[in-house]
Amino acid sequence: MNEFRFIGAAARNVFMPMAKKVLTRRNILHYGGGFTLIAGGLITVQAFRTGVWETGTGPAYKPWLDWNTDRSKTLMPMVRAGILASNNHNTQPWRFAVRRRSILLYADTTRALSKYDPFMRELWISLGCVIENMDITARAQGFTPTLQYAQGRLPARPGENGLSLAAKLNVTKSRKRYLKRYAVIPSRRTNRGPYKERRVRKSFLEKLTVIGNADPDIQMKFYESGGQRQQIDNLILSATRDMVLDTEMMAEQRAWLRLNQDEIEKFRDGPTIDTLGLHKFSLAVAKMLPDPDPDEMDENWFETTRNIHLGTSSAIGLFSMRDPYNKAQCIRLGRIWQKIHLICTIEHMAVQPLNQPFKMVDRELQRRQDPRNRRLIAELIGDEKWHGAFAFRIGRAFYEANPSPRRPASDVVIT
Ligand SMILES: Cc1cc2nc3c(=O)[nH]c(=O)nc-3n(C[C@H](O)[C@H](O)[C@H](O)COP(=O)(O)O)c2cc1C
């Protein structure tokens, strides 16, 4: 029995009878910090003694700590930075072939989400995030990178081994250049907790808007208040409801969710309970309780989207693209997202993608359903040349987010 299961069993035996009514994982996940006081007297001592407060420790998190300790003359430091990138559902859909002066980045389509991302659009955006980290790291290592992206449209046709070449990165020797963004590569996190309702500084949003509009095939706009903000909130919320009602999508989402330390150590991927954005104490309590009922978790996700993700965010950003199924455009969008995320990290601003509407556009297309989400997004954007592709919230977080697990670089390198 591992530590967490032991704690769970102890908590169940000792505290459950009296706590049964109020302390369910559902309530904790739902109300978060609200249960801090109720739970406090019950478990503080136990939790301190057993290390439930510890999150993000152990081998599954080592890649965040030793990412820049490689002193070899190889290009491995770039891979080690690449794997720390933001990526869809933490599926880590990548493989790297490392040569003396180049790296081939492959989409690992065996890790694609067939319901959640049926055309691999988000998978390719994720590879763009990886490339951004590799590019910044190449410069810090004293190289000038040049990049070639795969051409054509999605879905990517995989080779026999499930791999599809996404990009080739060549480097030539130059002077070392440390960007501020390089230093924050290991501290970037997706923050799913509550944000302070204070408005984000206008000049900062303007700075991000310039970055979000630097590519001629990609545009980005913030929605802060008024009718359009209401429209995008409704859009995200109704798409969340669509997903909750789609049993196949929910089953796929759950299959990647790592609810205990054993699963985290075994798979070193997927979202974990540590990354749900709970306050430290609520998280400790949630970890001690039995696994939640899947249906309750789905309903809880809907409520959290409404009350926390949309309810506490002063601004929502929306990226649109000329062609959301163009491989190179997806990669370039990923690079911009990663850049924005790193800049937000420097400024202690929290962000979280909220991509339910675009996942639903693809799902409706896959199932040949009425394209309701596509229609609603088109109404919001109001220009048929542009297609919504990625949304996120931004704000100042109440709590720091925890890291998500990563497979080590050595596991994802091929010869
Ligand atoms: C293309 C893409 C889509 C994503 N969609 C969502 C989303 O809809 N909701 C969410 O909470 N996080 C989303 N994320 C964030 C990932 O889940 C997150 O990056 C991943 O779990 C790893 O965690 P980390 O960013 O803290 O390293 C997305 C990230 C990418 C790159």
Q: Please give the number of the atom of ligand 1 that sits closest to the Cα of 87.
A: 31
Per-residue DSSP letter, 343: H
CA angle centred on 122, ends 230 and 91, rounded to 5°: 115
pLDDT digits (tens, 9 = 90+) for 123-144: 999 999 999 999 999 999 999 9
149 and 116 belong to one structural domain: yes
Domain shared by 137 and 235, yes or no: no
Question: Whose CA is closest to 329, among 154, 190, 183?
Answer: 154
Lowest mean pLDDT among 22-31, 53-62, 111-120, 170-179: 22-31
CA distances in angstroms from 30 to 14, 76, 268, 351, listed in the order given: 23, 41, 26, 20
In a domain, 19, yes or no: no
Mark whether 155 and 203 lie in a shared domain.
Answer: no
DSSP-derived letter for residue 117 is S
- Structural domain range at position 141: 70-185+403-414
Within-domain flag for 74? yes
Confidence of residue 26 (pLDDT cuts 50, 70, 90): low
How far apart are the C-alpha atoms of 300 and 278, rounded to whole Å? 13
Ligand 1 centroid to residue 191 C-alpha, Å: 9
Q: Does residue 386 fall inside a structural domain?
A: yes
Residue 124 lies in a domain: yes
- Would 228 be classed as within a structural domain? yes
Q: Which helix (H) or strand (E) holds 105?
A: strand 102-108
Q: How far apart are CA 303 and CA 292, in angstroms?
A: 15
Does one domain contain both 112 and 211? no
Q: Which tens digit of pLDDT belongs to each residue from 193-228?
A: 999 978 999 999 999 999 999 999 999 999 999 999
- 237 Cα–ligand 1 center, Å: 17
- Residue 68 clears pLDDT 50, i.e. is over it: yes
Same domain for 206 and 170?
Answer: no
- Identify whether residues 181 and 240 lie together within a single domain: no
321 & 408 share domain: no
Domain annotation covers residue 268: no
Please name the residue whose Cα sits nearest to atom 6 of ligand 1.
Answer: 353
304-333 b/e with 16+ CB inside 10 Å = b?
bbeebbbebbbbbbbbbbeebbbbbbbbbb
Q: Are strands 387-397 and 350-353 parallel, antiparallel or unpaired?
A: antiparallel
Does any domain span residue 160?
A: yes
Residue 273 has pLDDT above 50, yes or no: yes
Span 240-258, pLDDT tens digits: 999 999 999 999 999 999 9
**Spacing of C-alpha 362 from chain mean position:** 18
CA of 87 to the centre of ligand 1 (A): 5
**CATH number of the domain that residue 342 is part of:** 3.40.109.10
Residue 34 domain-assigned (yes or no): no
Q: Are residues 159 and 202 in the same domain?
A: no
Are 229 and 310 in the same domain?
A: yes
- Taking residues 91-95, what's their average pLDDT? 98
**Same domain, yes or no, for 252 and 371?**
yes
C-alpha of residue 75 to centroid of ligand 1, in Å: 26
pLDDT above 90 covers a percentage of the chain that reads 77
Atom number of ligand 1 nearest to Cα 86: 19
3-class secondary-structure state, position 94: strand
User: Do residue 131 and residue 243 come from a single domain?
Assistant: no
Q: Is the CB of 89 under 6 A from ligand 1?
A: yes
Residue 379 near residue 234, CB atoms below 8 Å:
no
Token pair for 195: 């944000």
Domain shared by 128 and 175, yes or no? yes
How many folded domains does the chain comprise? Answer: 2
Distance, in Å, from the CA atom of 234 to the CA atom of 310, rounded to the nearest integer, reads 9
pLDDT attached to residue 25: 52
CB 362 within 8 A of CB 245: no
Asked if 236 contacts 305 with a C-beta cutoff of 8 angstroms, the reply is yes
Indicate if ligand 1 lies below 6 Å from the C-beta of 190: yes
Distance CA 326, CA 320 (A): 13
What distance in angstroms lies between residue 351's CA and the mean position of ligand 1's atoms? 10
Beta bridge partners of 207: none
